[in-house]
Structures are given as structure tokens and as C-alpha cells.
Amino acid sequence: MEYMYAAMLLHSAGKQITEEAVTGILSAAGVQADGVRVKALVAALAEVNIDEALKAPVFAAAPAAAAAPAAKAEEKPAAAAPKKEEKKEEDLQGLGALFG
């Protein structure tokens, strides 16, 4: 995650996203930069228009978050469900909160 933050910081500052710049930001933050990850990040972002990507709406998490409450509503009228299934449902709702 810190690699992406470094790239976003460079972008917002109007600087070019290079291996040296990302490594420098990570080092300044006290993070030991992995050269392979830095190289992969810079290569992946070379083909991306970051401004356009930031403007694009995020739809991937929305259907998953909307499906969880609907599933819960359907289960309430049913007979008492086993405790194990209720625990799994609570765990899934927790994950939905992370991405919702």
C-alpha cells in the first residue's frame, strides 16, 4: 500500500513517477523499498492516466456491499439457522464494511 501512496504523492506534486523517486519517498518514510515491487509499480503506472483513473467511479465493491443486506433480509423469516452460519454471515458483513 505504501508503494501506491508514494506514487500518488509524486503524482499530486506534479513529479514524474520513477523508480528513484518512489524509492526516495519510501526511504524518507522509513520503509525498506523492494526494488522488484518498485519496478513493477512504475511499469504498471506508465500506461495509466492517473487523473482519469481517479475520476472513474468504483463499481467493483458496490454490488458486493448491496448483496450482503439483501441476503440477510431473506434469512430472517426462515427457521432458526445454525449458529455457525450466522457467524460466517457476520464475518462477511465485516469484510463488506472494509470495501463498501
pLDDT tens, 51-78? Answer: 888 888 877 655 555 555 555 555 555 5
All structural domains of the chain: 2-55 (1.10.10.1410), 61-99 (no CATH)
User: How far is residue 99 from each of residues 33, 51, 52, 83, 90, measured CA to CA in Å?
Assistant: 27, 22, 21, 25, 15
pTM: 0.55
User: How far is residue 23 from each of residues 8, 50, 53, 68, measured CA to CA in Å?
Assistant: 13, 19, 23, 40
- Which DSSP symbol is given to 14? T
